[in-house]
């Protein structure tokens, strides 16, 4: 059986979670690391026993014997790096977002079509237990027709973002920390669209002009001249429904929440409970289905500096399809609401089969294009904008169903 060598780009907090999962996957071969800061690169080589380290992304592409590149770099670098990797003949796993402008997004799609290489976006919300539960119930017809969905990615800057941007951005970290919230929309967008399979077609969005003393969100304070710390959008979807998305970076309390309303049933959640209601008046408390069996680490939720630990230390919930994971992942570390293991497994299965992973290039575009249009709308005080269409996947390229994958050596 062929094993795939993986080159990880970026020795940061996020890649630290995924390197052990790549190492433990039955379809993975040798893992390498690239980082422009020698101390970080050497630390990861020692920590994970990695034989090969490279001084840059370009050096890895030129010298490393890798089949695939896993990109965990700063958000605004993804588009260019993905395109380079595909043109170098490498499969690509990339943390979100896919890219920050339409030109790069459509270039990635064209390169995937041309090369037939696997591209996958690492969208964690796709495997949040609430999203999984709603997707299962929608596919079974319990919701009925989709009417309305809402998703909220509420992530105050104090919830780990200051430290994260300082770590990755260096002295000019504020320049990248001021990224428009709707240019990082995929956590909320995917929660709804990954359930229904539709795409967003039109958007009207408003922004909240920030006045915080840190000066991050200002016209002259960041690479995008972005004044908005919070953006809220209402969108039309291709199945005739509607969805509302909130991307907030200044808000009391952080979390990722969703709600879905169909003609037959609805789902709503918050920090306290998750509830299912039907047209016949039946109510079901689903809170226990979404609760993690073991958080894996003590977190003092009264301390904002500690709450981010939960993001990188969560196990599985009852709603997750744990049966489909490789045996080697049992008792392995996980994170972001149990998503890390599923995402790594999706990518490796796609490499093995040659089929598109669920979060392939076209779906990655569907998660990102609504945000690009939404920010343009916010800059024009809510003007209605048409959202670009990612197009259809090639008719001869199947999409992998990771749940039904079977291999005797798995």
Query: Across residues 40-49, what is the average pLDDT?
Result: 97
The answer to whether residue 12 is domain-embedded is no
H helices of 293-360, where?
A: 304-307, 340-353
228, part of any domain: yes
Q: How does pLDDT run across 267-287, given as a tens digit for each residue?
A: 999 989 999 999 999 999 999
Write out the two tokens for 193: 């669209």
Read off the pLDDT band of 315 (50, 70, 90).
confident
Two structure tokens written together for 319: 């709603």
CATH number at residue 293: 3.30.360.10
Asked whether residue 392 is domain-assigned, the answer is no
> Looking at the 3D structure of the chain, how many domains does it have?
1
Asked if residue 279 is part of any domain, the answer here is yes
Tokens of 262: 């169909």
Answer yes or no: are the C-beta atoms of 207 and 227 closer than 8 Å: yes
CA distance 84 to 89: 9
Question: CA 325, CA 309: separation in Å to the nearest integer?
Answer: 24
Res. 402: pLDDT tops 80: yes
Q: Is residue 55 part of a domain?
A: no
User: Strands 4-9 and 28-34: what pairing?
Assistant: parallel
How far apart (Å, rounded) are the C-alpha atoms in residues 108 and 387? 18
Q: 378 pLDDT exceeds 50?
A: yes
Q: What mean pLDDT comes out for the span 132-159?
A: 96
Are 28 and 4 a contacting pair, CB within 8 Å? Answer: yes
User: Would you state the pLDDT for residue 271?
Assistant: 87
pLDDT of residue 294 exceeding 70: no
Whether the per-residue pLDDT at 175 is higher than 70: the answer is yes
Is 381 within the bounds of a domain?
yes
Angstrom distance (rounded) from CA 160 to CA 244: 25
Q: Please, which pLDDT band fits residue 305 given cuts at 50, 70 and 90?
A: very low
Q: Is residue 210 domain-resident?
A: yes
In a domain, 64, yes or no: no
pLDDT the model gives residue 407 = 67
User: What distances in angstroms separate CA 265 from CA 152, 286, 289, one per listed residue?
Assistant: 20, 14, 17
Helix (H, G, I), strand (E, B) or coil at 410: coil
Which residue range is the domain that position 296 belongs to?
Answer: 125-320+361-386
pLDDT digits (tens, 9 = 90+) for 254-266: 889 999 999 999 9
Using the predicted structure, report yes or no on whether residue 314 has a pLDDT greater than 80.
no
Question: How many angstroms separate the CA atoms of 248 and 250, rounded?
Answer: 6
Looking at residue 312, its pLDDT comes to 57
E strands in 139-271: 146-154, 200-209, 228-237, 242-248, 255-262, 265-269
Average model confidence (pLDDT) for the chain? 93
Instruction: Please tell me the distance from the alpha carbon of residue 220 to that of residue 230, in angstroms, as a whole number.
Output: 17
Q: What is the mean pLDDT of residues 167-183?
A: 92
CA atoms within 13 A on the CB side of 350: 28
- pLDDT of 310 reads 53
């Amino acid at each position: 059986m062929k094993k795939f060598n993986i080159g990880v780009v970026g020795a940061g907090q996020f890649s630290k979670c995924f390197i052990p999962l790549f190492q433990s996957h039955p379809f993975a071969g040798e893992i390498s690391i690239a980082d422009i800061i020698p101390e970080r690169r050497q630390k990861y080589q020692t920590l994970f026993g990695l034989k090969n380290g490279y001084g840059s992304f370009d050096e890895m592409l030129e010298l490393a014997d890798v089949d695939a590149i896993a990109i965990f770099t700063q958000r605004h670098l993804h588009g260019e790096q993905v395109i380079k990797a595909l043109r170098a003949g490498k499969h690509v796993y990339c943390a979100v977002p896919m890219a920050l402008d339409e030109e790069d997004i459509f270039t990635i799609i064209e390169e995937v079509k041309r090369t037939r290489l696997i591209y996958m976006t690492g969208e964690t919300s796709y495997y949040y237990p609430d999203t999984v539960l709603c997707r299962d119930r929608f596919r079974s017809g319990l919701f009925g027709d989709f009417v309305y969905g809402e998703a909220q990615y509420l992530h105050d800057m104090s919830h780990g973002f200051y430290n994260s941007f300082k770590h990755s951005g260096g002295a000019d970290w504020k320049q990248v920390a001021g990224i428009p919230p709707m240019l990082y929309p995929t956590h909320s967008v995917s929660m709804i669209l990954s359930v229904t399979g539709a795409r967003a077609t039109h958007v009207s969005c408003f922004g909240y002009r920030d006045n915080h003393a840190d000066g991050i969100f200002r016209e002259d304070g960041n690479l995008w001249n972005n004044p908005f710390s919070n953006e809220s959008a209402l969108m039309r979807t291709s199945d005739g429904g509607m969805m509302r998305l909130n991307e907030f970076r200044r808000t009391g309390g952080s979390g990722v929440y969703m709600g879905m309303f169909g003609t037959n049933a609805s789902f709503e959640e918050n920090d306290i409970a998750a509830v299912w209601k039907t047209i016949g008046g039946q109510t079901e408390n689903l809170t226990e289905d979404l609760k993690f069996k073991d958080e894996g680490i003590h977190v003092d939720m009264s301390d904002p500096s500690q709450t981010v630990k939960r993001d990188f230390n969560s196990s599985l919930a009852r709603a997750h399809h744990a049966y489909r994971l490789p045996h080697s992942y049992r008792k392995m570390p996980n994170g972001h609401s149990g998503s890390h293991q599923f995402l790594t497994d999706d990518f490796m299965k796609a490499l093995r089969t040659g089929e598109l992973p669920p979060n392939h290039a076209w779906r990655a575009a569907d998660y990102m294009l609504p945000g690009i249009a939404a920010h343009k709308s916010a800059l024009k005080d809510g003007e209605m904008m048409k959202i670009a269409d990612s197009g259809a996947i090639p008719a001869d390229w199947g999409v992998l169903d990771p749940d039904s994958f079977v291999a005797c050596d798995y």
